[in-house]
């Protein structure tokens, strides 16, 4: 089975983000493999281990995004593709999906796994767009994945619980943070990752990289002060009311 | 100090592991003086209990520098976990790997290096500490067995649920000291009570007693009568690792101080804005930097097969005394809060003192260094 996992390097979330104009600065800042993508890589590795096949990680980003690709390889992926092209700077979600879909098509695929959304842009639409461009089904928000022949069954996380969804391969699956526990790379894995093949094509897609223009960037509004409730014996009930109002319970 | 990009990458992995899997439980196990079996087995699953051991013997097939990095990063959050890994690796796996027969390696090293079990090295005795040559424990031949009698003291990793064996030194009939693999459960091998210590609460430290304890002859480790000198040579390995542990713990102290001085306000300002505090932290960072350079310099010598005896002792001496100083200063920076157990620096402070004692006291290190300088220490 050819399992493709899409990965992205994001600026280290533990460091205050810097802007480059109205866009997030991505080069020359400390980057990490998007923590959300680690679940995708782990899911791919587990499926490959259980059902045979290999895992290819596909990424788009500046040259330094190679670090994120290597991290995924050090976890155990077989090979990588990093599409790096100056013309792709500032790509919007749709163009990113076009580029990744083309790169994935060139790699060959039976199953494509992505994180639900990136931890920097949070558009959460790229995987579905890839599925649409490749004309294959997608099943999203998987909190578990089961493979039976060429059928993929997932438990799809919902607000109330989960739905059981079945799709035929080839397909796109997006995984939530609860789907598994990503492994830590071993020292040997880190050393071997340097020797694994990574294809670095230029952009396989021509045309404008974005139809969007970011007009301005504003700070998130400060969170207001909380309400202080003195516990006169009715504290528990008040907490329950508050949670019910917030529709948490 | 030259660490490869792969080593730096590995450091990030161990740090992430330590932050997620070790740090949240450190205070819990320390408070209860309970051995953190789950944490150690998790270390084992990551290959951290056999980093420098080849894969054919269950190890991770990594190298000595990655092992030092691992000990350093674990100590940054929990020195008890770090010393468990260190004693197991430097003293037990290392000795089995260097001196074990093929059968011994297959049978005993493999489960240890694979991280399923841990091992103890039983050298020190109630009456033989720095003077390890004063070993009183005896081993006499009897048919196909050796019969061991005697007592051992301060033995790390000896009485946990996952302890597999002790490597015990004992004096043979000819007066020479040899070492023996004594599996847990061997009749006559009594694992004593857990010792109450001022630090390293979560590490397992015990007294052991051997009473007519029979082990088969093939449990002799290394060449008969040469064990002692062979082992002393290997102890240099452990000294660098203890220095790495000291550097990690000192860094943990500095991390805590940096966090605290930004939050703690006195006289209307964060205390980190006072130069008296800034100078303390600047001194800490400088000392840690230099100790770390020494650790990885000695580690590189060891890894490359170059002589490193004097460097190992100098590094152990410098790094451990530094770690004790820094733990004391870290408590001072925290003021009254440093003296209560809610703050990790209190634990680091208690954990620090033993660093100047275990695996060769500061005084023993000075003797070794003086000898390496060609001086006659006057010991006969």
Specify whether the CB–CB gap between B165 and B230 falls below 8 A: no
Please state the length of chain A.
249
Contact between B46 and A188 using a beta-carbon 8 Å cutoff: no
Predicted confidence at residue B379, as pLDDT, reads 59
Cβ-based neighbour number of residue A92 at 10 Å: 17
Predicted confidence at residue A229, as pLDDT, reads 80
Cβ-based neighbour number of residue B202 at 10 Å: 27
Using CB atoms, which residue from B6, B17, B47 is nearest to A191? B6
Using CB atoms, which residue from A74, A187, A194 is nearest to B66? A187
Encoded tokens for B83? 């010393």
Percent of chain B having pLDDT more than 70? 98
Q: d(Cα A130, Cα A135) in Å, to the nearest integer?
A: 8
For residue B378, tell me if it sits in a domain: no
B281 pLDDT tier (thresholds 50, 70, 90): very high
CA dihedral B313, B134, B350, B294 (to 10 degrees): 10
For residues B237 and B367, membership in a common domain is answered with: yes
Look up tokens 């209190």; give the residue.
B346
A195 pLDDT tier (thresholds 50, 70, 90): very high
In this complex, is the C-beta atom of A190 within 8 Å of any C-beta atom belonging to chain B?
A: yes
For residues B273 and B241, membership in a common domain is answered with: yes
Predicted confidence at residue A182, as pLDDT, reads 96
Q: d(Cα B339, Cα B319) in Å, to the nearest integer?
A: 23
Specify whether the CB–CB gap between B251 and B288 falls below 8 A: yes
Q: d(Cα B93, Cα B116) in Å, to the nearest integer?
A: 13
For residues B12 and B90, membership in a common domain is answered with: yes
For residue B34, tell me if it sits in a domain: yes
Contact between A187 and B6 using a beta-carbon 8 Å cutoff: yes
Per residue in B13-65, pLDDT (tens digit) is 999 999 999 999 999 999 999 999 999 999 999 999 999 999 999 999 999 99
Q: d(Cα A120, Cα A122) in Å, to the nearest integer?
A: 6
Q: What is the 3-state secondary structure (H, E, C) of B139-185?
A: EEEECCEEEEEEEEEEEECCCCCCEEEEEEEEECCCCCEEEEEEECC
Looking at domain A2-245, its CATH class is: alpha beta
Q: What is the mean pLDDT of residues A58-65?
A: 95
Distance from CA of B354 to the nearest CA of A (A): 30
In this complex, is the C-beta atom of A184 within 8 Å of any C-beta atom belonging to chain B?
A: yes
Structural domain of residue B80, as residue ranges?
Answer: 5-118
Q: Where are the domains of chain A?
A: 2-245
For residues B9 and B114, membership in a common domain is answered with: yes
Q: What is the mean pLDDT of residues B75-94?
A: 97
Percent of chain A having pLDDT more than 90? 67
Please state the domain count of chain B: 3
Q: What is the mean pLDDT of residues B305-331?
A: 97
In this complex, is the C-beta atom of A195 within 8 Å of any C-beta atom belonging to chain B?
A: no
Percent of chain B having pLDDT more than 90? 92
Per residue in B188-224, pLDDT (tens digit) is 999 999 999 999 999 999 999 999 999 999 999 988 8
Residues of A in contact with B64 (CB under 8 A): none
Whole-complex ipTM: 0.85
Using CB atoms, which residue from A71, A184, A191 is nearest to B46? A184
Q: d(Cα B213, Cα B181) in Å, to the nearest integer?
A: 11
In this complex, is the C-beta atom of A191 within 8 Å of any C-beta atom belonging to chain B?
A: yes
- Of A227-231, B352-356, B368-372, B375-379, the range with the lowest mean pLDDT is B375-379
Examine the pLDDT at B228 and tell me if it is beyond 80. Answer: no
Return mean pLDDT, chain A. 92
B8 pLDDT tier (thresholds 50, 70, 90): very high
**CATH code, B214:** 2.40.110.10
- B126: Cβ contacts below 8 Å, ≥ 6 apart: B151, B153, B207
Using CB atoms, which residue from A71, A74, A187 is nearest to B60? A187
Contact between A190 and B13 using a beta-carbon 8 Å cutoff: yes
For residue B293, tell me if it sits in a domain: yes
Burial tier of B129 (Cβ tally within 10 Å: 0-12, 13-18, 19+): middle
Helices and strands counted in chain A (H then E) = 6, 13
Examine the pLDDT at B378 and tell me if it is beyond 70. Answer: no
Predicted confidence at residue B1, as pLDDT, reads 58
Output phi, psi for B208, to 5 deg.
-120, 145
Contact between B47 and A187 using a beta-carbon 8 Å cutoff: yes
Torsion sign (Cα): B297, B303, B306, B310: positive
Predicted confidence at residue B15, as pLDDT, reads 97
Look up tokens 């969170």; give the residue.
A223
For residues B145 and B84, membership in a common domain is answered with: no
Contact between B13 and A185 using a beta-carbon 8 Å cutoff: yes
Specify whether the CB–CB gap between B262 and B255 falls below 8 A: no
For residue B314, tell me if it sits in a domain: yes
Reduce the DSSP state of residue A136 to 3 states and report it: coil
Output phi, psi for A110, to 5 deg.
-115, -35
A249 pLDDT tier (thresholds 50, 70, 90): confident
What secondary structure letter does DSSP report for A63? G
For residues B339 and B244, membership in a common domain is answered with: yes
- Of A75-79, A166-170, B133-137, B144-148, the range with the lowest mean pLDDT is B133-137
Domain boundary among B194, B225, B256: B225
**CATH code, B316:** 1.20.140.10
Domain boundary among B198, B225, B252: B225
Contact between B62 and A187 using a beta-carbon 8 Å cutoff: yes
Examine the pLDDT at B380 and tell me if it is beyond 80. Answer: no
Examine the pLDDT at A158 and tell me if it is beyond 80. Answer: yes
B321 pLDDT tier (thresholds 50, 70, 90): very high
Contact between B6 and A184 using a beta-carbon 8 Å cutoff: no
Interface test with A, best of B5, B8, B10 (most A CBs within 10 A): B10
Examine the pLDDT at B377 and tell me if it is beyond 70. Answer: no
CB pairs under 8 A between A and B: 32
Predicted confidence at residue B316, as pLDDT, reads 98
Residues of B in contact with A186 (CB under 8 A): 46-47, 60, 62
In this complex, is the C-beta atom of A187 within 8 Å of any C-beta atom belonging to chain B?
A: yes
Query: CB-side exposure of B290: number of CA atoms within 13 Å?
Result: 13
Per residue in A120-153, pLDDT (tens digit) is 888 999 999 999 999 999 999 999 999 999 999 9
Q: What is the mean pLDDT of residues A211-227?
A: 83
Distance from CA of A184 to the nearest CA of B (A): 6
- Of A103-107, A209-213, B75-79, B120-124, the range with the lowest mean pLDDT is A209-213
Contact between A184 and B17 using a beta-carbon 8 Å cutoff: yes
Q: d(Cα B375, Cα B361) in Å, to the nearest integer?
A: 19
Domain boundary among B102, B118, B134: B118
The helix (run of H) or strand (run of E) holding residue B238 is: helix B227-263
Interface test with B, best of A38, A177, A184 (most B CBs within 10 A): A184
Q: What is the mean pLDDT of residues B224-235?
A: 76
The percent helix, strand, coil of chain A (3-state, each to 5) is 30, 25, 45
Cα nearest neighbour of A191 on chain B: B6
Q: d(Cα B177, Cα B138) in Å, to the nearest integer?
A: 9
Return mean pLDDT, chain B. 95
Which amino acids of B are annotated catalytic?
359
For residues B183 and B193, membership in a common domain is answered with: yes
Q: d(Cα A156, Cα A143) in Å, to the nearest integer?
A: 6
Residues of A in contact with B66 (CB under 8 A): 187
- Nearest CA-CA partner of B325 in B363, B299, B355: B355
Interface test with B, best of A76, A186, A187, A192 (most B CBs within 10 A): A187
What are B's interface residues with A at a Cβ cutoff of 8 A?
Answer: 6, 9-10, 13, 16-17, 46-47, 51, 55, 60-63, 66
Predicted confidence at residue A208, as pLDDT, reads 79
């Amino acid at each position: 089975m050819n399992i493709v996992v899409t990965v992205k390097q994001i600026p280290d979330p533990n460091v205050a983000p810097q802007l480059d104009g109205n866009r997030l600065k991505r080069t020359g800042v400390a980057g990490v493999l998007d923590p959300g993508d680690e679940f995708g890589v782990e899911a791919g590795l587990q499926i490959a281990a259980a059902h045979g096949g290999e895992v290819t990680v596909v990424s788009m980003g500046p040259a330094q995004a190679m670090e994120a690709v290597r991290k995924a390889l050090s976890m155990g992926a077989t090979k990588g593709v990093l599409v790096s092209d100056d013309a792709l700077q500032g790509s919007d979600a749709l163009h990113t999906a076009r580029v990744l879909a083309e790169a994935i098509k060139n790699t060959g695929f039976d199953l494509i796994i992505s994180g639900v959304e990136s931890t920097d842009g949070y558009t959460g639409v790229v995987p579905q767009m890839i599925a649409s461009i490749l004309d294959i089904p997608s099943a999203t928000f998987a909190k578990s994945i089961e493979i039976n022949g060429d059928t993929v069954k997932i438990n799809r996380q919902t607000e109330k619980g989960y739905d059981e969804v079945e799709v035929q391969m080839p397909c796109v699956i997006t995984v939530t943070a609860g789907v598994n526990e990503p492994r830590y790379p071993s020292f040997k894995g880190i050393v071997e990752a340097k020797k694994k093949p990574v294809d670095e094509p230029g952009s396989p897609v021509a045309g404008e990289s974005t139809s969007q223009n970011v007009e301005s960037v504003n700070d998130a509004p400060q969170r207001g002060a909380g309400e202080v409730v003195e516990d006169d014996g009715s504290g528990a009930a008040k907490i329950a009311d508050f949670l019910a109002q917030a529709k948490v319970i | 100090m030259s660490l490869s990009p792969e080593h730096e990458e590995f450091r990030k992995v161990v740090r992430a592991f330590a932050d997620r899997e070790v740090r949240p439980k450190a205070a819990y196990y320390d408070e209860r003086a309970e051995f953190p079996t789950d944490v150690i087995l998790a270390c084992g699953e990551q290959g951290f209990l056999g980093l420098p051991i080849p894969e054919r013997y269950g190890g991770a097939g990594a190298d000595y520098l990655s092992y030092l990095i691992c000990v350093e990063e674990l100590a940054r959050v929990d020195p008890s976990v770090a010393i468990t890994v260190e004693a197991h690796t430097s003293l037990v796996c290392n000795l089995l790997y260097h001196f074990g027969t093929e059968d011994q390696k297959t049978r005993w090293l493999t489960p240890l290096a694979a991280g399923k079990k841990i091992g103890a090295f039983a050298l020190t005795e109630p009456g033989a500490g720095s003077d390890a040559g004063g070993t009183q424990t005896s081993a006499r031949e009897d048919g196909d067995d050796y019969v061991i009698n005697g007592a051992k003291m301060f033995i790390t990793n000896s009485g946990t649920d996952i302890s597999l064996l002790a490597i015990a030194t004992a004096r043979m009939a000819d007066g020479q000291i040899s070492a023996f693999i004594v599996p847990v459960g061997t009749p006559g091998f009594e694992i004593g009570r857990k010792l109450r210590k001022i630090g390293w609460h979560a590490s397992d430290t015990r007294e052991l007693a051997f009473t007519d304890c029979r082990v088969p002859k093939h449990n002799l480790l290394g060449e008969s009568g040469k064990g002692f000198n062979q082992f002393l040579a290997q102890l240099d390995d452990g000294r660098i690792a203890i220095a790495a542990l000291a550097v990690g713990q000192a860094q943990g102290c500095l991390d805590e101080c940096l966090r605290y001085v930004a939050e703690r306000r006195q006289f209307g300002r964060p205390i980190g804005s006072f130069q008296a505090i800034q100078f303390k932290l600047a001194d800490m960072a400088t000392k840690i930097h230099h100790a770390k350079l020494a650790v990885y310099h000695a580690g590189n010598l060891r890894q490359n097969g170059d002589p490193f005896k004097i460097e190992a002792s100098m590094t152990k001496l410098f790094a451990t005394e530094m770690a004790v100083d820094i733990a004391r200063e870290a408590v001072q920076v925290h003021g009254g809060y440093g003296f209560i157990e809610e703050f990790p620096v209190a634990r680091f402070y208690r954990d620090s003192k033993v660093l100047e004692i275990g695996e060769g006291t500061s005084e023993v290190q000075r003797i070794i260094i003086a000898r390496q300088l060609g001086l006659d220490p006057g010991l006969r």
